[in-house]
Structure 1
Amino acid sequence: MKISNINLTQTRSVMSLLSVLLIVLSVCAISLKGFNWGQDFTGGIVADAQLNTNLSQSMITEHLEQEQLQGVQVFSVGSEGQWQIRYNIGETDLQASLDGALSSLDPSYNILASSFIGPQVGLEMIEQGGLAILTCFVLIMLYLSYRFEWRLALGSIVALVHDVVLVLGLFALTQIEFNLTVLAALLAVMGYSLNDSIIISDRIREVFRSKPDGETQTLLNQSIVSTFSRTLVTSGTTLVTVSALWLLGGPPLEGFAIALCLGIASGTWSSISIGTVLPKLVGLKAEHYQIAPLTEVDALP
């Protein structure tokens, strides 16, 4: 089926408007609700306990919450009846509260191992995570500025920011726990978004060089059409893999998988919309990619 140039232009414009709206909503969610920081950032206790095999995950969680333990998370690990318990607690209480809560649930309980993460460590992780993301942005900006003309580089950078902000907005809106696995997913999303943007930008550069007299909007549409099938196949196969991780990976990997699913979909979306519409708005033309002929002065040894 032949794609109309006018229809594709209108579609990209609508996609860009939706992207702007989503960014505004995401920023509002982040500003008003903040994040539900996980224990990796807030500190707390992580303990492995052996309990009666008749106890289920929901029963253990409900009992510990009734015992006033804050932010309780229970995961099945190892053999049957072995659980990992995570909860937030003041540094002075440490093990005492968990001992009391488990003794009333199962007198024969056995704590196999426990560790405490202090709030100061959590603050350092937030700072280091933010620094890692900022460093990635700077390096990506330098790379794109070298690889492409600044207008295309600008579109790719804004598309990258769009993807990260959307993922952060989802976690702020839904209050899904934000932990180190989610931070790792954010860095992976940045890489995937950059890959999509580079593929389209590289094709735009080739088309612009081959058709110096072409109209910008038409050439942009041709570039998108020529890479569309590749983009769908790449995004589709990756989404299938990440979706399997989401469905089968269990609660510990849920945030990671959700962030990747949204990031992959957003990266594909933004590279077609923002990544091509913004360069056109700032004056992208085919003449910017023509190789200047050598003059007599340039040709001299």
Structure 2
Amino acid sequence: MSHSLLTRTRFSMSAISGILLLLAIALLAGKGLNWGLDFTGGVVAEVRLDQQLKAADIKPIVDKALQQDVQLIGSSEADRWTFRYNQVEDTTVSLVSVLESSSASVEVLNSSIVGPQVGSDMVEQGGLAVFACLLLTMLYLSYRFEWRLALGALLALTHDVVIVLGMFALTQIEFNLTTLAAVLAVLGYSLNDSIIIADRTRELFKAKPNEEANLLINDAVRATFSRTLITSGTTLVTVSSLWLLGGPALEGFAIALCLGIAFGTWSSISLGVTFPQLIGISPEHYKKAAPMAEEALP
């Protein structure tokens, strides 16, 4: 790919990233996240039912009776099911009474209630965890790179997290503690991609101080693209397997990781090195200062 074509591609990717970022922010502000029971509070019950029953036989009945979308999770044993749902205002309606209409035997193995106060504490602690990660990352990048490259990497990091959250707001997939763990993992993958390409850019700037910044950034993208693609591609295959075979319990976790890894590779090019170029980074910023001439002795 020629330098001119690669440059146009990078700037086009930057424009798309900007549009997606604004859309994600609008979705988060407008629709918000579909908080799971870990954050809102509710009931988690493990129940043993007839072995011949399937999820398609149970879920429609429970959803209609409890007037909500009940999360139904199977287990390795055919007769054991986990139900997660918000507390019902009508105290005359219970999960056991609903299940008795479709199963000859209903045995509640355990049941627990997550209160709203516990949920609000989890929201606060989860937000603090994300903030702490971003703060520590910002301090590390400030120490490692010139401020323009550091700002590009931080912008790419923020872009990836906001895009993932925006997709959850768009699809209204439940956002729970497992998904939050995936978002924190996305921070690591995104940072890894950005640091690889930023580090290569810095090396080229130091080695060729008289070259144009645009040409050196293109060379850095070429040098790291295959490595990044192989690393991210291998991880995507593994996470995709979790998405396809992990079931509902790991669906949110796998989706968040797949999106985060894909956009992490994208943003390392579209924002990680292209944004610093837009704000004027050049090899001159990495030139070593010439030593001062020694004063002549009297």
In the superposition, the TM-score normalised over structure 1's length comes to: 0.94
1:206 aligns with 2:209: no
Distance between the aligned counterparts of 1:73 and 1:169, measured in 2?
22
Aligned ranges 1:62-141 → 2 under 5 Å: 62-90=60-88, 93=91, 97-141=94-138
User: Shift in Å at residue 31 of structure 1?
Assistant: 1.2
Equivalent in 43, 52, 55 of residue 54 of structure 1: 52
Q: Give structure 1 regions of 4+ aligned residues with deviation exceeding 6 angstroms.
A: none
Name the residue aligned to 2:266: 269
SS in 1 for 2:112: strand
State how far apart, in whole Å, the 1-side matches of 2:168 and 2:200 are.
Answer: 34
Select 2:276's aligned residue among 256, 276, 279. Answer: 279
In 2: Cα distance, 1:103 partner to 1:114 partner: 17
Q: Secondary structure at the match of 1:85?
A: strand
- Counterparts of 1:108 and 1:251, CA distance in 2: 25
1:168 aligns with 2:165: yes
- 2:218 equivalent in structure 1: 221
Provide the identity percentage.
Answer: 57
Aligned-pair CA distance for 1:292: 2.1
Query: What are the Cα deviations for residues 172-217 of structure 1, in whole angstroms up to 9, with x where unaligned?
Result: 0011111111100110001000000000010001000000101010
Determine helix, strand or coil for the equivalent of 1:83: strand
Q: Which residue of 1 aligns with 2:289?
A: 292
Of 38, 41, 47, the residue aligned with 1:40 is: 38
8 A contact 1:44–1:88 mirrored in 2 = yes
Q: Please report how far the alpha carbon of residue 281 of structure 1 lies from its aligned counterpart in structure 2 after TM superposition.
A: 1.4
Whether 1:235 and 2:232 are equivalent positions in the alignment is yes
Distance 1:211 1:134 in 2: 37
3-state SS, counterpart of residue 105 of structure 1 = coil
- Cα distance in 2 between the residues matched to 1:294 and 1:199: 31
Tell me which residue corresponds to 2:150: 153
Cα RMSD, aligned residues only: 1.6
Are the equivalent residues in 2 in contact too, given 1:71–1:88 (CA < 8 A)? no
CA distance in 1, matches of 2:90, 2:196: 54
| Deviation, structure 1 residue 107 | 4.1
- Distance, in Å, in 1 between the alignment partners of 2:162 and 2:78 is 40
Q: Which amino acid aligns with 2:257?
A: L
Judge conservation of contact 2:43–2:86 (CA < 8 Å) in 1: yes
Asked if structure 2 preserves the Cα contact closer than 8 Å seen for 1:91 and 1:118, the reply is no
Once structures 1 and 2 are overlaid, which stretch shifts more, 152-161 or 79-88?
79-88
* Structure 2: runs of 5 or more not aligned: none
Question: What is the total number of aligned residue pairs between the two structures?
Answer: 294
Q: State TM-score, norm by structure 2.
A: 0.95
Q: Any gaps of 5 or more consecutive residues in structure 1?
A: none
Provide, for residues 234-280 of structure 1, a one-character-per-residue CA deviation record: whole Å limited to 9, x for no partner. Answer: 11111111111111111100011001001001000000111111101
Q: Deviations over 1:45-85 (max 9, x none)?
A: 11111101121111111111121253311111142211111
Does the residue aligned with 1:70 lie in a helix, a strand or coil? coil
Tell me how far 1:133 sits from its aligned partner.
Answer: 0.4
Deviations 1:83-130 (CA, angstroms, capped at 9, x unpaired): 11111115895x961122122222421111111101111111111101
**Contact kept? 2:50, 2:104, Cα under 8 Å:** no
SS of 1:116's partner is strand
* C-alpha distance in structure 2 between counterparts of 1:228 and 1:123, whole Å: 42
